Chain A
Amino acid sequence: MIFSTIIYFLIFPGLLFASIAGGFLSWFDRKVTAMVQFRKGPPVLQPFYDFLKLLLVKETILPAKGSPVVFMLMPILALVGATLACVFILLPALNITSGFNGDILVIFYLLNIPALAFILGALASGNPLASIGASRELKLIISYELTFLLILAAVIFKAGMRINLQEIIMAQADTSFIGSISGILLFIAAIFCLQAKLGYVPFDIAEAETEINHGSFIEYSGSAYALVILTKYILLFTLPVFIGTLLLGGLSFTGINIVYSLLKILAIVLLLILIRNTNPRLKIHQAMRFFFVWMNLLVIIAITLSIFGR
């Protein structure tokens, strides 16, 4: 029992599997970005070269005027949070174990841990640009989390008040939730939430490279930064899978369904990349207004529609 739990966490569907899948998705991201800009793009294994270089070759510098312990612990916490969320999502999604009652709320909290850990790490680094990044990230969390919670509430309502991920997948056995009007509205809002959670361009306010030099991550170097980018790879895999499970009818790895599942994940990631490449960066108050007013309105309309069975 304990042995299988360790296997679940470390190898499949946990750390190793998620980071390899996320690495390939990250390459997909860079390649599609390059193709949009008429470039050639990096080789397939590029994300792994980046990770191994940072982990094995580069020196790790600790902040002199910050708190080194918190600074070094926070990437590990972020990695653990992302991996746990990935395990809790993939175990029911791949039908390995049935999960437990209320796991959708646990996943919601676990998906918050990486962002919060990055904020703490940035504040522990003692760099003024990092603290600007941290404060922006905090405002971004405040704005998108309510929308994300409302999306979860709508999905729970559509599934007949079930808070178990596997039962939500079961409820979509005939038609997935995106087949209704409210499902499409929820999907649009969810895509923008993902964009903000991943820190992609309309909402990359917290790590604006050209403006505050990577913001929260400005002081991270070497192996600590390797863990940061590994967390990003895992989130790039986990979040599209989560949305695919909630709205697109779940994944299945038997027979021809493998192709459909992969296409679902790739389609969601492709949508994220295209939004990323065709939009400028918002200001923080624009992003907050976007989520507080428009996205919340969209999700509330979706909930109302789903009460009337649309």
Chain B
Amino acid sequence: MGIKTFCFKKSLWLFHFGGASCNNCDIEILDCLTPRYDVERFGMKLVGSIRHADVLLVNGSINRRDKERLLEIYHQAPKPILVVAIGTCGCTGGIFAEGNTFAGPVDKIIPVDAYIPGCPPKPEAIIAGIVKLLNK
């Protein structure tokens, strides 16, 4: 593992994109930053601007309006960027998969590096998913 990959894996900055979410996954993502789980141990922190981000966390079902925003955010991000689909809605669409306004799960819109299913996934599951992503 070269120094570039090593530094990249040691300092992942997260940017959070919520689609038409029910806010459960959003709260579970925030739980990862709380004292009990504390992902800053691994050098991860939540940033406010997509230009600083290394990981794009996408949750919620993506409807037709969200699709444009998601594509725009993805094109604005500096590469390399990892995309993680969180929750059943992000991974497959869940109960919204056959809805009229549903615009496809995240991997039909942008390439996805890791899937974390669950409705909502536990913070342990999110951390486990990110560790798997780092070891890939």
Interface residues of A (CB under 8 A from B): 30, 34, 37-43, 45-46, 49-50, 52-53, 56-61, 209-210, 213-214, 217-222, 225
Give the number of chain B interface residues (Cβ < 8 Å).
21
Residue of A with least CB distance to B42: A42
Task: State which of A42, A61, A217 has its C-beta within 8 Å of the C-beta of B43.
Answer: A42
B46-78 interface bits toward A, Cβ cutoff 8 Å, 1 = contact, 0 = none: 011101101000000000000000000000101
Total CB contacts across the A-B interface at under 8 A: 80
Q: How far is the CA of A53 from the CA of B5 in the complex (A)?
A: 8
CB proximity of B73 to chain A, nearest CB, Å:
13
Residues of A within 8 A of B80 (CB): 57-59
Q: Are the C-beta atoms of A34 and B54 separated by less than 8 Å? A: no
Assess A46 versus B43: contact at CB under 8 Å? Given A59-B78, A59-B79, A222-B78. Answer: yes
Name 14 interchain pairs, CB-CB below 8 A, sorted by A. Answer: A30-B40, A34-B38, A34-B40, A49-B10, A49-B11, A50-B43, A53-B8, A53-B54, A56-B4, A57-B8, A58-B79, A60-B78, A209-B48, A218-B49
Q: Are the C-beta atoms of A214 and B49 separated by less than 8 Å? A: yes
Interface residues of B (CB under 8 A from A): 3-4, 7-8, 10-11, 35, 38, 40-41, 43, 47-49, 51-52, 54, 76, 78-80
Residues of A within 8 A of B41 (CB): 39-43
Chain A CB count within 10 A is highest, among B8, B11, B38, B54, for B11
CB proximity of B110 to chain A, nearest CB, Å:
16
Q: How far is the CA of A52 from the CA of B51 in the complex (A)?
A: 16
